[in-house]
Structure 1
Amino acid sequence: MPHEILDDDAHRMMDLYLQRWDLLHRALRKRVGSHDLADEAMQETWFRLRRVVQRREAVRDPKAYILMVAANISIDLIRRERRHIIGHDSDAAVIGAVADEMPTAEAVLIGRSQLRQLVQVLMGLKPKAREVLIMNRCAGMTHREIAAQMKISDRMVAEYMTQALRHCRDAFRALED
């Protein structure tokens, strides 16, 4: 005859879920093939466990129960995704529906760090060399157009470009070391 779950048992089950969160999340991510679906499965697992605790249902083996609940949820999510994919007309539509164009937080942080480094390197250039480099690489201007705008010779534009590129190369090599 099943016994009523005690408050200590409930706390142990929820604590076990939290203690094993990383391990369970990794396993679900492998199983469902998506970080977002694994997050959804983890959240739904938490809600189902809370309902069991609130109803004070007895659970003989909390660890096995948590795994079973998470596995069943992941199966449901996989089935739902398959039904969703089957409804699309083409692979391109599926990829378009699944692909996330937004960069990850990590990619944003790396990009910001690289941008700061680039600005520091560019600020280390002599003003005219920096102006020539930016006009050429960012504005897409030719050496002749730059020379006309800055009222300098084509040879000086080439000289400034050479200085700027060497400086950038050397500065970025130093950052890598």
Structure 2
Amino acid sequence: MTMSAAASDAYHELISVYLRQWSVLCARLKRQTGSRELAEDALQETWLRLSRMKGQPVDIRDQHAFILRVAGNIAIDLARKEGRHSARCVSDEAVLQAIEDGCPSPERVVIDRDQLRFLVLALAQLPPKPRAALLMNRCDGLSHREIASRLEVSESMVARYLMQALRHCRDHFRDQS
């Protein structure tokens, strides 16, 4: 037998072992990678690598172990590549959370409008100076001294106006509940 005929026979025997052991190899690679898809991809790449050996001298003592080693190395490479890809990819859930609508729900809008309406009613029931003191303090951010100057009252009177207004608003909301 010539060298090329011997190489051809060895190559065909290697391919035959691969085909006969395909399901066993697939099961083993599936356990190794945790994924049937990765195992099948590794076996397909193994087939391609084995087919490139055609025409080359093949001196392999244990063909099954050789195929298993080639397929196992390919599976490891594919699993690593998949891991790197997964680490760079963003999950669908993360994308959905990132683009979450910041607008309040229709229910929240209705509740907030009702509370605003209650507050407006409560403020309308207040005498003018306590109402003005509360609005200047809470809306305009003015200090007691600044409010006292604008209303032409003492700072202690501003404190009383604020207490009166806050108590009234609190009681008004309690009554609405």
Please tell me the TM-score bracket, short chain as reference. Answer: 0.3 to 0.5
Which of the two has higher C-alpha Rg? Answer: 2
